[in-house]
Amino acid sequence: MANLRNWWLTAVWHHQERWARLTFLMYCAMYPNSVIAILANLIPDEARGFGGVLLLLQGVSIACYLYTHLGRTAWRPMSIIMLGALLVEYVGATYDIPFGAYDYTTMLGPQLFATVPIVILFAWLMSLVGSWSLMYMAWPTAPRWVRAVGCGFLIMLFDIQIEPVATLINQYWVWMQPGVYYGVPLVNFAGWWAVGTLLATWCDRDLLRLMQITRGQIPFAIANLVGCTGMFIAMNGQRGYLLAVAMSGVFLLVFGIILWRWRVVAQPVGSQ
């Protein structure tokens, strides 16, 4: 008990990242029961929107993390990502560009402009900061455009995992013109790559400064991506979506290789 109390006081309550870590711990507390309920097929249809609560907690933890280390300037990357996501999701759901023809259901809760669920903006914040951080770990000295393109690829890989969960299992959104990957058109993934690359380019300077401030630490945002991937494996595996499970395996393999390289090969902060 003494060790647990010391861990709580030093690693959470008196740590400068207290609010980010507390929010993430709330997510972690709900995580095991969620996975068990998924594997046992105990989640009723009316409770499938609970995944939005988990996404919200993850996004809020990233927002707290950014504010802890960047102070007031954290609003710049947060605004770029969340307002950019709102714009592109609204255009996408209204005019079918750049992801293809889709509409959100009411499963994820309140929507902005009766179109885009609020929680989706936090999901973009979590996934983009996590993907950028993972790309930084892979190549700290890469030019900005390389980091951005790599971030776009990683966030696309993240979406490849989530699509069967979001559309076939939880019905968070519906595709009007089904495609070849579990009913998802391939243009959707090209859109995720393009939007991810663009947003990463615009907020690269602030995120690079974040890495300078937290030098030597494994970026906090990556834990959220890994947590989501575990959930996707459970849900896709339970439904027999083996290709989606394989794509999650690819993501974990990429993560493992990057983590090994990060620990073994110490490199300086990236240059512009």
| Residue-by-residue pLDDT tens, the chain, 272 positions | 777 778 777 877 778 889 999 999 999 998 888 878 777 777 777 667 778 899 999 999 999 999 999 999 999 999 999 999 999 999 999 999 999 999 999 999 999 999 999 999 999 999 999 999 999 988 888 999 999 999 999 999 999 999 999 999 889 999 998 899 999 999 999 999 999 999 999 999 999 999 989 876 777 788 889 989 998 999 899 899 999 999 999 999 999 998 888 876 654 454 44
Question: Within a domain: residue 59?
Answer: yes
Is residue 237 domain-resident?
yes
Alpha-helical segments (H) within the chain: 2-7, 18-39, 51-70, 75-95, 118-138, 144-163, 186-202, 204-213, 221-239, 242-264
| Residue 197 included in any domain | yes
Residue 272 within any structural domain of the chain: no
Is 271 part of a structural domain of the chain? no
- Rg, the chain, Cα only: 18
| Cα separation values, 30 from 34, 35, 36, 62, 235, Å | 6, 9, 10, 17, 15
- Residue 10: inside a domain, yes or no? no
The tally of domains found in the chain comes to: 1
In a domain, 63, yes or no: yes
Of the candidates 187, 192, 188, 98, the residue with the CA atom closest to the CA atom of residue 151: 192
Joined together, the tokens standing for residue 31 give: 């995580």
How many Å apart are CA 70 and CA 104, to the nearest integer? 33
pTM of the model: 0.92
Cα-based distances in Å from 40 to 31, 145, 170, 245 = 14, 44, 16, 18
Place of tokens 């690079």: 208
Domain that holds residue 166: 18-264
Q: Has residue 11 been placed in a domain?
A: no
